[in-house]
Chains A and B, each alone.
Chain A
């Protein structure tokens, strides 16, 4: 940056001297943690996108295991006909919490972990646009996740992850379970929205010089599209949840048919969020696969512009198909036909992507590493899920399959075979960058094959069960329906899948603690994140790189001379890093208290009768944190990197 441009901005004298000292202010409640503070405080107050990404990942893996245990309990119950391993009520709570946990607490934050860690590196930035807001997103996610899992100690929600009204209204669901669910989802929504505003700003504004939009790595593109989906889709469920909460607590009639309210409004609002949500979960997975395949095929991604545009097209169509979740509701011929056609249209951009991935593999020098295996597994199983998806888009077929196990098979193929396998591909692929250590290939491949086998054994029979008429969400079934055998296989497969996922998580933890160290570019990869140290320094890049090609790192290694780039300009005054802050965390804690107080409204919370006070105190903490946050400023310190 030219120094001359800064002279016109006046500032109070003495500002510079004050700059690197601990902040002294009337409003200062706590010492702002500085460089070299205690590691625990460092992690709690960090604004570094890499640490935030790692924490997102750690929490997501934890909740993946929680959701997995819930799934295994469901499968254990269905192992035998007329089983009484769990009660019907607990069964309903299990599938509700399993769905909610996996979507909001496992897959989305695992995506967010890579958004936070990798996307910033891929665009050659030093951090996100608003580092403290990023920390706030993380801690709000944690607050929402803790709140919803606290419900197990009182009453977990038993209304399905879709929370259909009137099953979730006070008449049919009088306990606190629904309130836990509503308020946790609101807090998780705050976290997702705040993160998305941040990522959109970061991607649009903070790319390295020369990194035009059409030079951005596909994973960054998918982050951008996903963020747009989040900011446009989440408001619908937020308002639906507000309306439901008002119905439950303040006597309004949004979903009350006796006053002219319509339960179907819930379905519309829920699915106009819920269908884009499907793409919020799967587009990042597609981004990861689009990074992994070229690296291990030793070829550039085939049809890059088409991959990007079909991603955008999928995002756009995601908003136009919500009613295909409601084909059996009776919306009328015109509506169902229109939504059926729109739904079938999605096969086009999805097919384009799959053919482009195959085109990437075509003629490539394929290295069957663990991440590559997971990505190839993704393509195969996502295609399976896609084919059954096309079946559902046909209204008459959907009438047969609605609420049968066929649907369960379909979306598990998409969300485990698709999203989760791609995320594990990402974990194995990017682990060297995140930890500086390489995962063990042999163990990785063993885990992959266990997962692949267990997954198909668990979910393929569900297609057959669905066609044999077994309904979803059923607590148990009679022994003479012809469903016994496939249910046994399915449960066995689920256990094997659980072993596979568990072993992969153990490997992640083991690698982090004792893995084999590796160089900065162990895969001979293509994109910018591999140009940083292993793991990256706080400031990511000592010099911000200049970009002349789509795969700059690859171009520098093997590309044409005109595509290669120099190391970029050094920072004349050192690199400015923002300070740590307590306030993102305290603001999230305030939010958590507000939520908890509202759940226990008029109830006793651990001997505390007046939980409305808790709402006020929590609100006060939130408001105070926001003020202190604004007044402390990012401030920061300077680093003078020794060039490596």
Chain B
């Protein structure tokens, strides 16, 4: 009974028997895909709220003055942080790939770089928010314009997703030193990777639709 027993111990009932699932996809991965499907709808709702309100209210009026959004935005910084987030997707892919090759050491380094890039992105977002709010000429806050309301809630929700991803990745980083960390966790990290890639992809939508569109 030994091997069959041990095999079950780290997973929900039978989920890692890839061959045993009807679709051939492990349970955790399929559940993550289902979660991401609903997350698409979360972000879809927020992005459409922002775009529709942007179209309805072409002027951003702060303290009685029409303020072009481009004078508030810092497109260079955001472009840089977008690039950094993309890089984190690359290192995440490398993490998963290293895990598949059973190279835990390399995976750990790639994991750490993903955390580093992700943190840089979050740092840039915190700086950006702070910068916008304390913009001396025309501060953009959550409450002074509808643009501020939709912008901060949308990008803030994305930021929360990144933050959850960072907590998750950091947990993996420390857990990877545990003796219980074994090859069964390869799939778990792959699932975390799916989440991380999704968060990046959403940003790839937000960046042109919320930022670049203002410059066109």
Contact = CB atoms under 8 A, between A and B. Distances in A.
Given A235-B42, A246-B149, 15 more contacts: A16-B5, A19-B9, A131-B12, A132-B12, A200-B34, A204-B22, A205-B25, A231-B35, A246-B153, A251-B142, A260-B57, A578-B12, A627-B171, A634-B8, A638-B1
Contacts of A578: 12-13
Nearest to A571: B4
Given A193-B38, A250-B143, A127 B13 contact: yes
Contacts of B137: none
A130 B38 CA distance: 18
8 contacts: A3-B3, A201-B30, A239-B45, A243-B49, A246-B153, A250-B143, A576-B4, A634-B13
Q: Which of A6, A232, A235, A636 has the most CB atoms of chain B within a 10 A radius of its CB?
A: A235
Interface string B28-68: 00110011011101101110010011001100000000000
A262 B56 contact: yes
Contact of A232 (B22, B30, B37): B37
A196 B30 CA distance: 12
Interface in B1-29: 1-15, 17, 19-23, 25, 27
Q: Which of B27, B44, B56 has the most CB atoms of chain A within a 10 A radius of its CB?
A: B27
Given A11-B182, A242-B153, A573-B4, A254 B49 contact: yes
A279 B80 CA distance: 45
Interface in A559-597: 572-574, 576-578
B1 A573 contact: yes
Contact of B22 (A205, A243, A638): A205
Given A132-B12, A201-B30, A239-B49, A252 B21 contact: no
Nearest to A14: B6
Contact of A6 (B4, B13, B34, B180): B4
A80 B180 CA distance: 71
Given A1-B20, A231-B34, A633-B9, A260 B146 contact: yes
Given A634-B12, A638-B5, A206 B38 contact: no
Interface of A: 1, 3, 5-7, 9-12, 15-16, 19, 126-127, 129-132, 193, 196-198, 200-201, 204-207, 231-236, 238-240, 242-243, 246, 250-254, 256, 259-262, 265, 269, 572-574, 576-578, 627, 633-636, 638
B30 A200 contact: yes
A259 B35 contact: no
B31 A198 contact: yes
A201 B38 contact: no
Q: Which of A200, A239, A246, A256 has the most CB atoms of chain B within a 10 A radius of its CB?
A: A239
Interface string B139-161: 00011011011100100000000
A231 B149 contact: no
B74 interface: no
A262 B1 CA distance: 64
Contacts, number: 173
A253 B179 CA distance: 51
A126 B150 CA distance: 46
Interface of B: 1-15, 17, 19-23, 25, 27, 30-31, 34-35, 37-39, 41-42, 44-46, 49, 52-53, 56-57, 142-143, 145-146, 148-150, 153, 171, 179-180, 182-184
B38 A573 contact: no
Contact of A238 (B19, B42, B180): B42
Main secondary structure of the interface of B (DSSP, over half): helix
Lowest 7 CB-CB distances: which A-B pairs, in order?
Answer: A235-B41, A252-B149, A251-B143, A260-B57, A205-B21, A239-B45, A231-B38
Given A239-B49, A253-B146, A265-B49, A129 B1 contact: no
Given A201-B31, A254-B49, A9 B7 contact: yes
A243 B183 CA distance: 42
Contacts of B41: 231-236
B49 A206 contact: no
B53 A204 contact: no
Nearest to B4: A573
A197 B35 contact: yes
B157 to A, nearest CB: 8
A259 B56 CA distance: 11
Contacts of B8: 576, 634, 636
A349 to B, nearest CB: 23
A250 B20 CA distance: 49
Contacts of A262: 53, 56
A152 B92 CA distance: 49
Contacts of A15: 6, 9
Contacts of A576: 4-5, 8, 13-14
Contacts of B184: 9
Contacts of B2: 16
Contacts of A243: 49, 153
Q: Which of B22, B44, B52, B171 has the most CB atoms of chain A within a 10 A radius of its CB?
A: B22
Given A7-B3, A205-B23, A261 B12 contact: no
Contacts of A1: 4, 17, 20
A19 B6 contact: yes
A198 to B, nearest CB: 7
Contact of A633 (B1, B7, B10): B10
Contact of B14 (A11, A19, A206, A260): A206
A196 B6 contact: no
Contact of A231 (B15, B20, B37): B37
Contacts of B31: 129-130, 197-198, 200-201
Nearest to B152: A252
Contact of B13 (A3, A129, A193, A240): A129
B13 to A, nearest CB: 5
A614 B199 CA distance: 30
A341 to B, nearest CB: 23
A92 B171 CA distance: 48
Contacts of A207: 22
